[in-house]
């Protein structure tokens, strides 16, 4: 007898393929020869991989023709290549993904949408606001664009006053904050957190250790992305359980150690289908049963999205400040920067490689440099290098290369 989960995934997959084939201009071509009525889950690898770089600029082709845009929710990926991917979900699908996520938060932290929370953020995508401390309703936003000691001290006291129930953050920012609190003797638990959710980056063991040392064992790692939202969450034991009710997970190009690249198919987003999307994070799918009792499979993420901070003397910032400046220029001035990469060649010197768009010129370059210099310490220097393309050397593109003592460019 075939496994019920397998049969359910296969049923959902056939429905997804049928809708994509009938409604989406992109998939009408891609799936033209496919018989969706008899398609088997075991034949999924016969469908070509969907690469992010092939979708950029063609996102709307995945949508059904004449789909009412007022019924769509739109988000942007991080845009580390200089061209963020526009992701679409119907309002109905968005509610479903929100429901899944809040169910996990309630299960692990007794957290609801009414609870106050703090969040390390880069900027608001609608207004490009980067205020260091910004309260909006029951959320306290704390900027990652300056995480120097003096700023972290202000953040601590703002949180003490606000008393959030939980916190949402990239692992690197929360680890930096936790280390600061432990080193200065400030009491982390006085903030009142009962749940911490980490997301957006690969969580390293040393980061988890320092965060739990500061705040206790209240940390859960949310594995997801803008394309899919929550793919999985770590349980109370610390294992990452993936949501096989909503997604199909494949691991390809597996090496001798059992580590391969992750491919995901969203079974629910029939409005903007992502079928065999090459997410590319390095993973190892565990076969063991978790002691927490959850029946969902366990995935171990071993490589992918990581973060190293920009440091100039005592000044510290998340490198997303460069992404902010690119996004703001493109938003205000049009197609200016299509790709970018930053190399910190000396402590205060940055080489910025840009692939210019149709609207780029010297005045736009000056605006861009001025915007960056406003975010950096006064001794910072910017060198702009215009190039035709920036090649991917791996599936996961690193847009910031930090300065390493002794490795200066010659």
Confidence of residue 409 (pLDDT cuts 50, 70, 90): very low
pLDDT at 57: 82
Would you place residue 85 in the very low, low, confident or very high pLDDT band (cuts 50, 70, 90)? confident
Last residue of a domain, one of 285, 303, 321: 303
- Owning domain of residue 123: 94-303
With respect to residue 40, please indicate whether it lies within any of the assigned structural domains. no
Q: Are residues 237 and 287 in the same domain?
A: yes
Q: Is the pTM of this model over 0.85?
A: yes
* pLDDT digit string, tens, across residues 219-257: 999 999 999 999 999 999 999 999 999 999 999 999 988
Tell me how far apart the alpha carbons of residues 202 and 303 are, in angstroms, rounded to a whole number: 7
Question: Whole-number mean pLDDT of the chain?
Answer: 91
Residues 175 and 293 in one domain: yes
As a whole number of angstroms, the distance between CA 218 and CA 197 comes to 9
Do 372 and 289 lie in one domain? The reply is no
Domain CATH number, residue 148:
3.40.50.12780
- Domain presence at residue 68: no
d(CA 231, CA 225): 8
User: Within a domain: residue 226?
Assistant: yes
In this structure, is residue 271 part of a structural domain?
yes
Q: What digits encode the pLDDT tens for the residues 101-152? A: 999 999 999 999 999 999 999 888 777 888 999 999 999 999 999 999 999 9
Beta strands per DSSP E along 138-276: 139-143, 166-169, 195-198, 219-225, 229-234, 240-242, 247-252, 260-266
The phi, psi pair for 368, rounded to 5°, reads -65, -50
Task: Name which of 173, 122, 167 is nearest 148 in CA terms.
Answer: 173
Is residue 80 situated within a structural domain?
Answer: no
**CB < 8 Å & 24+ apart, contacts of 3-11:** 5/244, 5/245, 6/41, 8/245, 9/41, 9/244, 9/248, 9/267, 10/40, 10/41
- Comparing C-alpha atoms, which of 209, 213, 207, 235 is closest to residue 222? 235
Same domain, 181 and 239: yes
């Amino acid at each position: 007898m075939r496994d019920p989960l397998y049969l359910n995934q296969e049923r959902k997959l056939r429905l997804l393929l049928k809708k994509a084939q009938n409604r989406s201009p992109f998939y009408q071509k891609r799936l033209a020869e496919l018989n969706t009525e008899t398609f088997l889950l075991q034949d999924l690898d016969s469908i070509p991989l969907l690469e992010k770089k092939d979708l950029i600029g063609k996102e709307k082709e995945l949508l059904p023709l004449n789909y009412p845009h007022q019924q769509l929710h739109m988000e942007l990926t991080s845009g580390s290549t200089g061209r963020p991917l526009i992701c679409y979900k119907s309002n109905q699908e968005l509610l479903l993904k929100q429901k899944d996520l809040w169910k996990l938060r309630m299960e692990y932290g007794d957290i609801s949408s009414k609870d106050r929370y703090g969040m390390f953020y880069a900027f608001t995508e609608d207004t490009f606001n980067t205020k260091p401390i910004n309260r909006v309703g029951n959320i306290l936003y704390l900027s990652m664009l300056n995480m120097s000691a003096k700023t972290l001290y202000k953040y601590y006291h703002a949180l003490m006053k606000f008393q959030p129930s939980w916190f949402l953050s990239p692992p690197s920012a929360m680890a930096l904050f936790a280390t600061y609190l432990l080193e200065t003797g400030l009491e982390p638990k006085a903030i009142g957190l009962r749940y911490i959710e980490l997301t957006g980056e690969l969580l390293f063991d040393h980061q988890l250790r320092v965060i739990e040392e500061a705040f206790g064992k209240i940390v859960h790692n949310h594995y997801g992305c803008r394309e899919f939202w929550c793919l999985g969450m770590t349980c109370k034991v610390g294992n990452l359980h993936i949501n096989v009710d909503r997604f199909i997970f494949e691991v390809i190009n597996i090496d001798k150690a059992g580590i391969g690249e992750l491919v995901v198919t969203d079974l629910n987003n029939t409005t903007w289908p992502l079928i065999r999307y090459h997410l590319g994070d390095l993973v190892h799918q565990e076969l063991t049963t978790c002691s927490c009792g959850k029946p969902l499979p366990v995935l171990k993420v071993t490589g992918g999205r990581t973060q190293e901070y920009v440091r100039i003397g005592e000044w510290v910032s998340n490198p997303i400040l460069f992404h902010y400046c690119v996004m703001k220029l493109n938003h205000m001035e049009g197609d200016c920067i299509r790709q970018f990469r930053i190399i910190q060649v000396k402590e205060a010197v940055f080489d910025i490689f840009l692939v210019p768009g149709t609207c780029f010129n010297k005045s736009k370059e000056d605006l861009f440099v001025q915007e960056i210099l406003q975010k950096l310490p006064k001794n910072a220097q910017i060198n702009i290098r215009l190039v035709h393309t920036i090649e991917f050397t791996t599936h996961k593109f690193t847009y910031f290369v930090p300065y390493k003592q002794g490795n200066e460019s010659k």
